[in-house]
């Protein structure tokens, strides 16, 4: 009996034939970490004032991840990480903190930032996401829940996932643990190449990882980044055609030849006003190819059209009335993308009331109510101090509600936006202190505050 029990235990705990120990990722992680950054943001949320008080703005902090594209400080991240941000700060793996400027962003969840490093950064190396296979081991690096430079590992769980974030969804699914704050960080293969941009996760309860995360394929990310660098927007091809997936039943009802009824493709449901395809395609046409791309469904149709160059002409392979033919369609510029590309610059995102970074001040324009309450004469210009955090350096410097800030770094300021521009400029120039001319009940005085 003892021998039988021993044999059973040996079988239970034996290492399966061909099994290997877990991969040692120490060298890979050490090599990749310098290319990954943590991103922190501040968004400004309006807080209506109580009766008789001016409105103020609350500062809402956010976090995410990103990765280095060029030695001179071009950074990629997710658009949703920085959307609506008034301040963007990038922290390198060595702890260096840099102020970031938003260059451009896309509806496909990618954004580009620029920082000004003192020393060259370490760029990532792109991998080919079309070569990714289900089951491949991967490594994710990022800033989950604010824990910077965190490394997790897993495998590719699935490909071509549609999570309904855009008409082009084609996500890589991974079980590498991804949490809030990982967004915008890279997904690496074991060669150290970026094969995806971590973007979304499926979660339950507290929002933590349950082993279902999604990444934008690297080939898609490279396409979007190249377009953003060239045009400031994606500038996708557009023919103005709406389609849906071709099913065997639709193929049968549409009169597709019997031997073609198992074909994949998309059937035209309608055309947009002003569409380049008007007069060429019509509802009921079955599109099976665009250029060199064959189609599976509506998503692959949208993706095939999007990569076409605006101003070019592309062949579309279609079935119509039981006959296969090829038609040529001019490729236009998407009205939606043109409109999205005309959004406000980051400096214009600030509201009339804003809160400068880390100074403990609530600021606003000098309204009639402010002038009356604090007895500010009509000839005084600048911006009003509405609130002061009693634990801040501003309070230590003697700044009080009712004071008026008239100059920053010797330059006159007439709005809070101008104040922020001067503070941001001081930070970019690596100044350790900011110089303010403040007017109070006893007159003007110069005050200095730490820039960070």
Domains of the chain (ranges; CATH) run 26-114 (2.40.10.10), 125-231 (2.40.10.10), 237-333 (2.30.42.10), 352-450 (2.30.42.10)
**Beta strand extents in 95-224 (DSSP E only):** 97-99, 101-106, 110-114, 125-126, 137-142, 150-161, 171-174, 186-188, 193-204, 208-217
What is the predicted pLDDT for the residue at 239? 94
What is the predicted pLDDT for the residue at 352? 31
Alpha-carbon span 72 to 224, nearest angstrom: 20
Average pLDDT of each block of 10 consecutive residues along the chain (452 residues)? 51 46 82 94 74 65 92 93 88 90 84 91 93 92 88 89 72 86 92 91 61 88 89 88 88 78 82 92 91 83 90 92 91 82 36 47 85 87 86 83 91 85 77 86 87 68
**Beta strand extents in 190-265 (DSSP E only):** 193-204, 208-217, 237-238, 241-245
The DSSP call for residue 176 is S
Q: Which residues are identified as catalytic?
A: 80, 109, 183
């Amino acid at each position: 009996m003892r021998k039988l029990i021993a044999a059973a235990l040996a079988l239970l705990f034996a290492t399966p034939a061909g099994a290997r120990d877990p991969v040692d990722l120490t060298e890979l992680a050490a090599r990749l970490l310098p290319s990954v950054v943590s991103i922190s943001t501040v968004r400004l949320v309006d807080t209506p004032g109580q009766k008789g008080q001016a409105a103020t703005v609350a500062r809402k902090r956010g976090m995410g991840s990103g990765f280095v594209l060029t030695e001179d400080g071009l950074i990629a991240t997710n658009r949703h990480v920085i959307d609506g941000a008034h301040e963007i700060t990038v922290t390198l793996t060595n702890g260096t903190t840099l102020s970031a400027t938003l260059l451009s962003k896309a509806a496909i969840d990618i954004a580009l930032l620029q920082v000004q490093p003192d020393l060259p950064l370490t760029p990532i190396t792109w991998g080919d996401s079309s070569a990714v296979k289900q089951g491949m081991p991967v490594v994710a690096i990022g800033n989950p829940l604010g824990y910077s430079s965190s490394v997790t590992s897993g495998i590719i769980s699935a490909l071509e996932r549609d999570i309904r974030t855009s008409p082009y969804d084609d996500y890589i699914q991974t079980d590498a643990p991804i949490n809030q704050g990982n967004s915008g960080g890279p997904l690496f293969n074991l060669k150290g190449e970026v094969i995806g941009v971590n973007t979304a996760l499926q979660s339950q309860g507290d929002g933590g990882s349950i082993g279902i995360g999604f990444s934008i394929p690297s080939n898609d990310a490279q396409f979007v980044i190249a377009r953003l660098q060239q045009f400031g927007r994606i500038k996708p091809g557009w023919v103005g055609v709406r389609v849906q997936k071709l099913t065997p039943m639709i193929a049968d009802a549409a009169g597709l030849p019997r031997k073609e009824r198992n074909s994949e493709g998309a059937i035209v449901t309608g055309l947009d006003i002003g569409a380049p395809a008007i007069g060429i395609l019509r509802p009921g046409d079955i599109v099976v190819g665009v250029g060199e791309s064959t189609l599976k469904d509506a998503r692959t149709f949208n993706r095939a059209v999007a990569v076409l160059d605006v101003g070019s002409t592309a062949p579309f392979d279609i079935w119509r009335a039981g006959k296969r033919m090829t038609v040529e369609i001019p490729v236009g510029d998407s009205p939606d993308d043109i409109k999205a590309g005309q959004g406000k610059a980051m400096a214009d995102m600030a509201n009339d009331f804003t809160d400068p970074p880390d100074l403990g001040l609530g600021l606003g324009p000098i309204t009639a109510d402010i002038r009356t309450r604090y007895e500010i004469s009509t000839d005084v210009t600048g911006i009003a101090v509405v609130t002061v955090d009693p634990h801040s350096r501003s309070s230590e410097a003697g700044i009080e509600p009712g004071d008026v800030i008239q100059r920053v770094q010797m330059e006159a300021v007439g709005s809070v936006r101008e104040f922020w521009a001067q503070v941001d400029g001081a930070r970019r120039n690596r100044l350790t202190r900011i110089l303010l001319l403040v007017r109070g009940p006893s007159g003007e005085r110069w005050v200095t505050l730490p820039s960070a």
